[in-house]
Amino acid sequence: MWGRLEKLEEGLVAFLLAAMTVVTFAQVIARYVFNYSFVWALELVSFLFAWMIFIGMSYGVREGSHIGMDAVVKLMGEKIGRYVTILATLLCITYSVIIFIGSWNYITMVYGLGNYAQDLPIPVWIPRLALPVGFALLTIRFCQVLYRTIKGESTHLVADEAEDALRHHVNASAEEKQD
């Protein structure tokens, strides 16, 4: 069940990026080739973009792809470093809870106003639901990191960018060898 949800998360993020690209591309083609422009394209793309960012940020925590400066924590040694990481994670949870509350307030406000989107015929609170949904997911992911750190499992709050770039390289050359 959990595994399936995680697959869904991945698929959704990749799909949103593909959809944004195709819609923007189609809009350019339509304008230049068929001399027809659809105004709602930009609004649609920005909605897709919002969902991609805010669904994706919790996925980023799971994948450990957010960048940070962990040099100092690494210098502190394992034990103190772990306490600092727990503190950092608690602060991250504080952040995502604050923004969740803020965005929930915002959504109830626009829901009450009943505004519609500029070009698309939908109430504006639907696309903007991305914000509270995203920050709820983010809170869950940070709690997961906290739980694992307290249990002493190896986790990471931030990315090792160099390792990421190189992992791609290893994957790419492995694939080339297969060919």
Partner 1 sequence: MTTIALFIMLFIFMLTGMPIAVALGLSSVLTIMFFGQTSLASMSLKLLNTSEHYTLLAIPFFILSGAFMTTGGVARRMVAFANACIGHMRGGLGMASVLACMLFAAVSGSSPATVVAVGSIVIAGMVRSGYTKEFAAGVICNAGTLGILIPPSIVIVVYAAATESSVGRLFMAGVIPGILLSLMLMIAIYVRAIKLDLPLQPKATLKDILVAGRNSLWGLLLLAIILGGIYGGVFTPTEAAAVAAMYAFFIAVFVYRDVKFYQVPSVLLDAAKVTVMLMFLIANALLFAHVLTTERIPQEIAEQIISMGMEPWQFLLVVNILLLIAGNFMEPTGIILILAPILLPIATELGIDPIHLGIIMVVNLEIGMVTPPVGLNLFVTAGITNMSIMQVVRAALPWLMVLLVFLGLVTYIPSLSLWLPSVLF
Binding-residue total with partner 1 (CB under 8 A) = 72
Q: Which x/- pattern over 86-125 shows residues binding partner 1 (rule: CB under 8 A)?
A: -xxx-xx-xx--xx-xxx-xx--x----------------
Q: Compose the 147-166 pattern: x for residues touching partner 1 by CB under 8 A, - for all others.
A: ----------xxx-xxx-xx
CA separation for the pair 172, 62 (Å, rounded): 23
Binding to partner 1 in span 46-85, by CB under 8 A: 46-47, 49-50, 52-53, 56-57, 59-60, 63, 65-73, 84-85
Q: Find, among 108, 103, 89, 107, the residue nearest to 157 by Cα.
A: 89
Closer of 21 and 147 to partner 1 (Cβ):
21
Q: Which is nearer to partner 1, 121 or 177 (CB)?
A: 177
Q: DSSP for 113-158?
A: HT-B-SSSSSBTHHHHTHHHHHHHHHHHHHHHHHHHHHHT----SS
Q: State in angstroms the smallest separation of the CB of 143 from partner 1.
A: 14
Q: Is residue 137 a contact point for partner 1 (CB under 8 A)?
A: no
Which of these, 62, 66, 29, 22, lies nearest to 44 by C-alpha position?
22
